[in-house]
Structure formats: structure tokens, C-alpha cells
Structure 1
Amino acid sequence: MKFGEWIDLQRRIFRNAQPGLLWVIGFLVLQVSCEWGGPPTIMVTAEEFRFSPARIEWVTDQPLRLLIRNQGRERHVFHSQELFGPEAKVLWHQPRVALQEANAVVLEPGQSIELSFTASAGLYPFRCWIKGHTGMEGAILIKDFSSS
């Protein structure tokens, strides 16, 4: 189908459709595109030489979705033994960029990775262990839902 034919088809559909039907179709498209009902996404950026935000607070029993993005000019590592450890229940939303020691994600400049998890109460520190990146660290604090 050529572009002009596509436009003509759309015009015919909209001209003959009931306004209520168009509203329902628009609502469904919006709902699918916004992923309503899913966990919110928190973006963690890695730059020279910090993570932002460096502290995230969350509650138990609520899934947390992280988008970790390297916006710097150098390679960075997101290392968390507690988050990526043996009991971790991490769901990866795309193929892993690179894992080392099974506890770290290595991100080249411009790369990102998205993951989600539900964790028990506790502190989940993360850091970049590349030499010279001292101080590039942060933590995710998961609080008990009943005490928040």
C-alpha cells in the first residue's frame, strides 16, 4: 500500500466512524503505549564520575524498574553484589549488555540496560569499580511496606 492510499484509507475510516468508537480506539492505543499498570521506571545515569540519582528509596512488595544508562564518555560498571547476587530475582527487559562476576553490568558510552525486581527490605549498594572511579556509588533502600 502506498502512502497516499494509506492516508485515503484513514480519511474514509475517520469519516465513517462513530465518535465514541474513535475515543475507545484512542484510549486503547494510549493504554498500550503507556504500559498502564506496570511498575514505574527510574532512570539511573552513569557519568564521570557519579551515578544520578545516587540514592533510591522504595518499598517491599512493589516492583521497581530501573533503566541504567551510561551518559558519560567512558565505560562504567553498575556493580551490586546484593542486587545481582545468587538470590536475586531480577527480570531483564532486554539482553544483558555484559555481566562480569555475575554481579555487575558493564556499559559502554551510550549503552543502557533495563531491569526490574521486587526485593525484601534492606540496603542494596551499587558502585562502579573501575580504577579511578572512586566515589561513583549509590544505594537502593528498600523499606518494609508496613512501616512506610
Structure 2
Amino acid sequence: MKFVKWISLQPGIYWNARSGLLWVIGFLVLQGSCKWSGPPTIMLTAEEFRFSPTRIEWESDQPLRLLIRNQGRERHVFHSQELFGPDANILWHQPRIALQETNAVVLEPGQSIELFFTASAGLYPFRCWIKGHTGMEGTILIKDLSSS
């Protein structure tokens, strides 16, 4: 004989562990099937000695969430005068990040940073300027689709 403890929440409403677990599972399934609003996250990986992907294309005036992750064994720098410079035409959707270097973010091995912004149409090059990391560069191309 199984013993199931019922808990009375309100008159006429009873709850047990099994029905609670089924409710939680149903909620998680429903949550996974829904499309949540917000921009998708694009992951940019830094490794020895490359960024991947090296080219990111996005639409102007559309929020972009960029997750930069150092999966290498060495320190890497994400430098972009066009993204971080004083003349950058960027709308940041987060508190302005603290740059450790001029127009750059330094990422130690295993470290990551998320950038959430909207950019005007243009080309936004980035690179790692650490000595010996030559060729570790890429671009973010923001396309103006309204003029197409």
C-alpha cells in the first residue's frame, strides 16, 4: 500500500508531491516551447590564435547580444575602436562596461563578457593586439536593410 501525503492548500484544493512534480514538468515543457522576446545571443570565442566566427552580420537598429568567451589558455583582448571609441555610434543597453585598456576588454582564460547594444549600419572591426596574436581579428558588419 502506497502512502501519499496530501496537503490542503485551500478548501477543496489538495496537493501532493506527485501532482506537484507533474505541474513543474508541464511548466518547464511549456516554457521550452515558447518563444521569449529579446535578441538572440551570438557567441564569439577567443582561442589560440583566432576568433570564431571571424565575421558577424547583423541588421542595423536591431539589438545585438554578443557573448565574448576566452576558451584559450592565454589572455586575449577584444579591441574595437569602432565599438568602444568616443565617436562610436552605439546605443548600449547595459551599463557602460569598464574598459581595462583603451577601447578594449581583456579576457583571462575561461572569462567571458556579454555586450548588449544596437549599432548603426557600418563595419566594426575587432582584434586582439597582444604581441604574437597576429591575425586574431574579425569584423561585425551591421547592414541597413531599410534602404534595400
Q: Normalization by structure 2: what TM-score?
A: 0.75
- Residues 1:12 and 2:16 aligned together: yes
Residue 30 of structure 1 aligns with which residue? 31
1:122 aligns with 122
Query: Does residue 100 of the first structure (1) align with residue 101 of the second (2)?
Result: yes
Deviations 1:46-103 (A, max 9, x none): 000000000000001111100000000100000001011224333448x9575211x1
Structure 2: runs of 5 or more not aligned: 1-5, 8-14
CA separation of 1:92/1:131 partners in 2, compared to 1, >3 Å: closer, same or farther?
Answer: farther
**TM-score calculated relative to the size of structure 1:** 0.75
Higher helix share: 1
Q: Distance in 1 between matches of 2:119 and 2:138?
A: 17
Q: Secondary structure at the match of 1:66?
A: strand
**Aligned residue number for residue 90 of structure 1:** 92
**Larger-gyration structure (1/2):** 2
RMSD: 3.3
| Larger relative strand fraction | 2
Unaligned stretches of 5+ in structure 1?
1-7
Do the aligned partners of residues 106 and 92 (structure 1) sit closer, same or farther apart at CA in structure 2, a change above 3 Å counting? Answer: farther
Distance 1:61 1:49 in 2: 32
1:48 alignment partner in structure 2 = 48
Q: Percent identity?
A: 69
Q: Which residue of 2 aligns with 1:111?
A: 111
2: CA distance, partners of 1:96 / 1:146: 30
Query: Number of residue pairs matched?
Result: 133
Offset at residue 35 of structure 1 (A): 7.9
